[in-house]
Copies of this chain bind each other. A is one copy, B any other.
Amino acid sequence: MTIEGDIGQLLLDVALEAGIFIPAACGGSGACGKCRVRIVQGSVDALKLEKLTAAAKAEGYVLSCQARLTGDVTVEVPRVKVGRKVIPRDEAERMRVTAAPMESPIIPEVNPMTVRVFLTPDTPEAEDNASDYERIVRTLKVDHDIFPVTANLEVLRELPLQVRQEDWKVTSFLQVEDFPGLDTTIYRMGKISPGHIEEFPTALAVDIGTTSLWGELVNLDTGEVLARASRYNPQISMGDDVISRIVFALKKDGLEKLQQQVVKGLNEIVDEVLERSARKRNSIDYMVTAGNTVMTHLFLRLYPKFLREAPYVPAAQNVEPIPALALDLNLPSHAFVQVFPGVASYVGGDIVSGVLANGMWDSDEMTLFIDIGTNGEIVAGNRDLLMTASCSAGPAFEGGGLEYGMRAAPGAIEGILIDPDTYEPMIKTIDAKPALGICGSGIINIISQMLRLGILNQNGKYAQTLGTDRLREGRSGYEYVICRAAESGLDEDIVLTEVDLDNILRAKAAMFSGYTCLLDKLGLSVDALDRVIIAGAFGSFINLEHAVTIGLLPDIPRDKFSFIGNSSLKGARLAVTDRTLFNRSRDIARSMTNIELSEDPSYMDNFMAALFLPHTRAELFPSVRLEA
C-alpha cells in the first residue's frame, strides 16, 4: 500500500495514521525496541539504534518511533510475535510512503496591538525648550503622523533620564487603541527605551481552559510562534468544572485564591516560553487571552455569582486593556492584557476566538463548529447568522474524570491501534514520552476500535469472554489494559474502566444532543451542512472515522470535516498578530445568538437517545458497520 506522510514526520506516526499496526508498546520513546521496520528503498533520518543488533542495522532496520521521513521511502513492516501469537499482516508488509514537505503555517498580516517607533527629537536649546514629553509627542506627530498620544505617569517619570541616555535617540513603544465606532485611534505610550531597539518585540497568545492553560510567544515583527507551553490550570485543585469553581469563588477569599492560581499557572507558562525561545521578559508588549466566561471572570476577579443563576448574566464581556501588573502577571510594567469578549455565561471568549480562527464568520458556507473541551460548545451558521449553545459535556474528552485520563501533554497516549487478532494495542504518546495516561484522541480512537472489534458492546460495557489478558476484572468492574506498568511511565497499569466508559458515553451524548438541538433551532439537518469544524485540545491523532463510529460526530461525507485543534489558542494568536482581527472579534461576539439548552426539553430527549454507541437510532449513522 502507498500512503502519504510529511517530511520530518516519524514513521510510527505515519503508520498509526494509516492504520498499520506496529507493536509500539513504550509510546514511541525508543525504549522497547519493538517497533522496528526495515527500509527497503530510500532512506530516513534515524536516531537511537542501540536496541538493534549490528546485523539488523546492516540489514536496514530502524526503530519507526525514531525515524523521520526525509523523502519517499519504502518500508517493510516485519511479522512480529505479540504475546503467544505470530501476527500475519501480509498487506501491511510493505508500505510505500510518499513524503510531502510540511505545510508552512499561514502567517497572517502582522498588525499588532503595539507599534515601536524609532525617534530622534531635536535636542533642546534656549529657543526651543519644550518639555521632554512634548518633544516626543511632536516628533511622533510630525515625522510619523502618530497622534493623539497619551502617556501615564510612570512613563513620564522615567522620561528625562531615558531620553538623555543616548543623546535623544529613543525607541517609543505605543499601544494602539482603536475606537472602531468612531474611526478613532489613540496611541498610549507604553514605554520609552534609550537608543533604537532593533530587537523585535513579542506578545503572548493564551488559552485559559478550565483544565489546561496554553501559551504561545509570538514574534511581533513576523507573526512567527517562537515557543509554546502548556500546563494544567492550577485551579483544578479548587474544582474540576466551572460550576464547582464558581462555588469555590463565592467562599471567603475564594475568588482571590482562584485568581492567584490561574495567574501562577500563566506566570509559569511565561517563564517557560521565555526560556524556550531565549527571549527577554522585557520584550513582551502584551498578552491576549481567550477563555470561557467563567475562566475569564476568575482571571479578572469579576464577581461570578450570577453566571450560574438564571438568567445567567456575566458581569462584563467587553473589557478594556488591563495593565498586566494589575493582574499580578509577571510581565513588564508597560505590558497589558487584552481579553477576548464572550457571548454568554457559557459561551465565552474561547469560542469567539475559535470562530475568529475557523473563519465561519466570514464564510457563506453553512458551518457547524464543535469545540470539545471541559464544556462542550457549538456554533452553527455562517456570515449571515451565528447561533451558539453550550452543553455540560464534562471533562472526559480532556481526560478529566477518568481513572487514567490526562490532558494532551507529553506522555499522554494520543494514538492507539488495536490489533484485531490479538487485541494488543499499539500506542503513541505525545512527545514520545513514557505513557502516563490517555488523552481525548486516544479515548475516541480506542473506544471506536473496541466497539468495532466487539471488545465493547453498544451500551459501553466490555465483552467478558475474549480470552485476552488485556481485558480483566478490576477494582471498579471490567477494564482494558492499555499500557502495562513495565512499559509505562507509571508504577501501574494504565487501564480504561467501565466507569470511565460511562463518563465518556455521557460526554458524547451531551455533545451530540447539543449540536442536534442547535441545528433544529436553525431548521437544519446535518445533511445541510457544508462544513463541520472540530476543535479541542485532545491531541492531534483524533481519527474522524473513530469519532463518527462512537456517535460523537455526525455521519456525513468525511470531506466536510476538518480539525482545527486548539482553536481558542489559534484565535488568540491571530489577535496577537493582527489587532483588526481582535476588533473584529467584538463584532463576532455581538453577532452571535446564544441558545440556553438547559431550558430546552428536547435537549434531554436527544441526550437520552444518544447514550448508546453510536446511537439508539442506527439510521442516523448509516456508515457505521459493527462486526458484532
- Measured CB to CB, the nearest residue on chain B to A301 is B157
Q: Are A131 and B316 in contact (CB under 8 A)?
A: yes
Q: Are B153 and A322 in contact (CB under 8 A)?
A: yes
Chain B residues contacting A303 (CB-CB under 8 Å) are 157-161
A258 to B157, CA, bound (A): 15
A-B contact pairs, 14 of them (CB 8 A): A126-B311, A126-B596, A131-B314, A131-B317, A132-B313, A132-B315, A134-B317, A134-B318, A148-B181, A151-B316, A153-B301, A153-B302, A156-B300, A157-B301
How many copies altogether? 2
Q: Are A160 and B305 in contact (CB under 8 A)?
A: yes
A320 to B152, CA, bound (A): 7
A49 to B542, CA, bound (A): 100
Give A506 Cβ to nearest chain B Cβ, in Å: 25
A interface SS class:
mixed
- Measured CB to CB, the nearest residue on chain B to A589 is B134
Q: Given that A161-B303, A184-B184 are contacting pairs, would A156 and B319 also be in contact in the complex, using a CB cutoff of 8 Å?
A: yes
Q: Are A311 and B132 in contact (CB under 8 A)?
A: no
A82 to B428, CA, bound (A): 113
A133 adjacent to chain B (CB < 8 Å): yes
Chain B residues contacting A278 (CB-CB under 8 Å) are none
- Measured CB to CB, the nearest residue on chain B to A155 is B316
Q: Which of B132, B306, B315 contacts A133 (CB 8 A)?
A: B315
A54 adjacent to chain B (CB < 8 Å): no
A182 adjacent to chain B (CB < 8 Å): yes
Q: Mark A579-618, 1 if CB is under 8 A from B, else 0.
A: 0000000000000001010010000000000000000000
A88 adjacent to chain B (CB < 8 Å): no
A199 adjacent to chain B (CB < 8 Å): no
A345 adjacent to chain B (CB < 8 Å): yes
A326 adjacent to chain B (CB < 8 Å): yes
Q: Given that A148-B179, A156-B302, A160-B303 are contacting pairs, would A131 and B596 also be in contact in the complex, using a CB cutoff of 8 Å?
A: no
Q: Are A326 and B132 in contact (CB under 8 A)?
A: no
Q: Mark A307-338, 1 if CB is under 8 A from B, else 0.
A: 00011111111111010001000000000000
Chain B residues contacting A151 (CB-CB under 8 Å) are 316, 320
Q: Which of B130, B148, B186, B594 contacts A313 (CB 8 A)?
A: B130
Give A521 Cβ to nearest chain B Cβ, in Å: 13
Identify the 6 closest CB pairs spanning chains A and B, nearest first.
A133-B316, A131-B314, A160-B303, A129-B311, A156-B316, A124-B313
A125 adjacent to chain B (CB < 8 Å): yes
Find the residue from A128, A164, A313, A320 having the highest chain B CB count within 10 A.
Answer: A313
Q: Mark A140-158, 1 if CB is under 8 A from B, else 0.
A: 0000000110111100111
Chain B residues contacting A380 (CB-CB under 8 Å) are none
Find the residue from A129, A130, A300, A345 having the highest chain B CB count within 10 A.
Answer: A129
Q: Are B315 and A153 in contact (CB under 8 A)?
A: no
A344 adjacent to chain B (CB < 8 Å): yes
Q: Given that A147-B181, A161-B303 are contacting pairs, would A129 and B317 also be in contact in the complex, using a CB cutoff of 8 Å?
A: no
Chain B residues contacting A126 (CB-CB under 8 Å) are 310-311, 596, 599
Q: Which of B159, B302, B345 contacts A316 (CB 8 A)?
A: B159
Give A313 Cβ to nearest chain B Cβ, in Å: 5
Give A603 Cβ to nearest chain B Cβ, in Å: 14
Find the residue from A124, A310, A320, A599 having the highest chain B CB count within 10 A.
Answer: A320
Seed contacts A130-B317, A152-B320, A156-B316; 17 additional CB < 8 Å A-B pairs:
A125-B311, A129-B311, A132-B316, A133-B315, A133-B316, A137-B318, A148-B182, A150-B320, A153-B326, A156-B302, A156-B315, A157-B315, A158-B303, A160-B313, A179-B186, A182-B184, A184-B184
Give A573 Cβ to nearest chain B Cβ, in Å: 24
Chain B residues contacting A128 (CB-CB under 8 Å) are 311
A159 to B322, CA, bound (A): 17
- Measured CB to CB, the nearest residue on chain B to A322 is B153
Chain B residues contacting A157 (CB-CB under 8 Å) are 300-303, 315
A182 to B186, CA, bound (A): 10
Chain B residues contacting A179 (CB-CB under 8 Å) are 148, 184, 186
Give A1 Cβ to nearest chain B Cβ, in Å: 54
Chain B residues contacting A181 (CB-CB under 8 Å) are 147-148
Chain B residues contacting A316 (CB-CB under 8 Å) are 131-134, 151, 156, 159
Chain B residues contacting A326 (CB-CB under 8 Å) are 153
Chain B residues contacting A132 (CB-CB under 8 Å) are 306, 313-316
Q: Are B312 and A129 in contact (CB under 8 A)?
A: yes
Chain B residues contacting A313 (CB-CB under 8 Å) are 124, 129-132, 160
Chain B residues contacting A182 (CB-CB under 8 Å) are 148, 184
- Measured CB to CB, the nearest residue on chain B to A342 is B131
A594 to B127, CA, bound (A): 9
Give A400 Cβ to nearest chain B Cβ, in Å: 27
Q: Given that A182-B184, A184-B179 are contacting pairs, would A300 and B153 also be in contact in the complex, using a CB cutoff of 8 Å?
A: yes
Give A141 Cβ to nearest chain B Cβ, in Å: 9
